[in-house]
Structures are given as C-alpha cells and as structure tokens.
Amino acid sequence: MNNISERLKHDWFILANLVSKDFKLKYRRSILGVLWSVLNPFLMMVVLALVFSFIFRGDDASQPFPVYLILGTTLFNLMAVSTTAGANSIIEAAPLIKKIRINKLIFPLEKVLFELVNFALSLIAVAVVLIYFQVAPTLNLLFLPLLLLYVVIFSVGLSLLLSALAVFFRDIIYLWSVVITAWTYATPLFWPINALPEWLAAVMKFNPMYQFVTYFRSITMCGVPPKISDLLTATASGTPYVAIWQTPSLKANLICVGMALITLVVGFLVFKATQRRFILYV
C-alpha cells in the first residue's frame, strides 16, 4: 500500500514538472506571454459575437449573446484542445517511453491538466465579459469545480482512448481534427438549442458537450432575465418572470457524471489493454 501511494506521489511530481515545462515553453519569447491565455478566448468571443450577431438573431435563451457565446466556446475549447493534444501525447512522448520506465498514463493526463490551467486563465476573460454585461454571480457558481471535474474526466477518457489508438493508426489524429470541427458546429455554441426541430433537440441530449455547456451556462447565467421587455411586463403585472437558466438538477448532474465516467472507463480499458505494445509501434 505504502508503495502505491509513494508511486502516485511520484507520478504527481512528474506530472507537475511536465505541466510546468509545457507552460514555460508555450509562452517563451512572446511579449504578452501568459496574457494570451486570457486574450485569446476574449478576442475569439469578440470575433464570433460580431459574426453571429449578424447571421443569427439571438433569441431569449441566448441573451446576452456574447455571454452565451464565451461560456460555450471556452468550455468546448477545453475539451477540444486537450483531446487533440492528448491524442498526440503518446507518440510525442516516444523518446521517453523508449528510454525509461514510466507510467504511460501520465502523458495524456498531463495534456488535459495543462489545458485545465489554460482554461482557468481564460476564466478571467469570462469574468470580464460577465461584468461588462452585468451578469451577477450567484451561489450556483459553486458548482463550477464539479463541472470542471466532469469535463476533465471526460477529456481524460477521450485522450486515453485516442492516444492509445493513435499509436497503432496515425489516421486517428487527422480524423480527430475533423471530428472536433464537426462537433463544434453540432453543439449549440453559436446558436440556441431551440433553433433545432424537436426531434433533433432530443438527439442533442446525447451530446455530452451539449450537457456540459448547458451546465456551464446554467450555473453562470442563473437568474438572468430572458428579455428586458419580459422583465418589465413581469414586474408591472406582479408575476415573477420565468428564468431560463436554472440551478442544475440532480438529473443533470447524473447525466454529466454518467457520460464522463463511461468515457473514462472505455478510454482506460483500451489504454490498459494496449499500453504494453506502445513501445513496439511508437
């Protein structure tokens, strides 16, 4: 037992070292450095908000639109970037795997944790947008760590699966970038869910990213009135308005946990079953 905890402690130390290495390398020789982790999602949001404000007219559920947008894209980005990096992680670590005895789980895990750090920084941009649009924080924000846990588990699961498969078939890496693009448009990041016909909206429930993104919007925009006009009529008539974003229910949590865990288990099993042969193929 002692041995296992010792080994875990050591794996953690390696992880921390690799994450800090990636972080140092990412912004070396850039003037703004770490600030880019904040600026990037912010600028992306501005571009997208400009583009999509003209194409789609946001409706009740997606007001204020820039908030709706930045919440969706930053969270989706966490999954997209970490799984893309994760898919490459074992091939990239080939020199290490060939030379030293090391727990190979570390590499995909490291990529996801590194992106989690970047995500934490991009939350600053999210906060700025929230303040600008005067979306007041509520206690619901306390759900955020829970949500991040779900998304990290989900991304780790995918990364494990992809990195293991990519060792044997490099196609996976190219394929995955296409999947991510398709997934980006298939998830209501830029458009509201009620733009879909009913049957498609039902199918959408099986999209884990839809569940996570909705969760994120719920806890952040909870209690935001749908429309100023609705708010005015509501106060005038004395009846409370119906908020669209509500505290995530137990059911929503269970769905998120379930999707994350199933992905993790599948990824882990595939990784475990194949990791012995990595060294022969990388």
Partner 1 sequence: MSEGIEPQAAVVVEDVSMVFNIANEQLNSLKEYMLKLVKRELFFKEFCALKNISLQVEKGDVFGIVGVNGSGKSTLLKIVAGVLEPTRGSCTVRGTIAPLIELGAGFDLELTARENIFLNGSLLGYSRLYIKEHFDEIVEFADLWEFLELPMKNYSSGMIARIAFAIATVIVPDVLIVDETLAVGDMFFQEKCEARINTLIQEYGTTVLFVSHDINQVERICERAVWIEKGHQQMLGTVDEVCEAYRMREKGAL
Binding residues for partner 1 (CB under 8 A): 9-10, 13-14, 17-18, 21, 24-25, 28, 95-102, 168-172, 276, 279-280
CB atoms within 10 A of CB 269: 13
By beta-carbon proximity to partner 1, the closer residue of 228 and 280 is 280
Q: How far is the CB of 8 from partner 1 (least distance, A)?
A: 13
Calpha distance 129→45 (Å, rounded) = 9
By beta-carbon proximity to partner 1, the closer residue of 34 and 44 is 34
By beta-carbon proximity to partner 1, the closer residue of 36 and 56 is 36
Q: How far is the CB of 110 from partner 1 (least distance, A)?
A: 12
By beta-carbon proximity to partner 1, the closer residue of 56 and 168 is 168
CB atoms within 10 A of CB 205: 12
Q: How far is the CB of 157 from partner 1 (least distance, A)?
A: 21
Question: In 3D, which of 54, 60, 86 has the Cα closest to residue 160?
Answer: 86
In the chain, % helix, strand, coil (3-state, to 5) comes to 80, 0, 20
- Cβ neighbours for 251, distance < 8 A, ≥ 6 positions apart: none
Q: How far is the CB of 98 from partner 1 (least distance, A)?
A: 7
Residue 263's identity, in one-letter code, is T
Q: How far is the CB of 40 from partner 1 (least distance, A)?
A: 21
By beta-carbon proximity to partner 1, the closer residue of 27 and 241 is 27
Residue with tokens 């750090």: 117
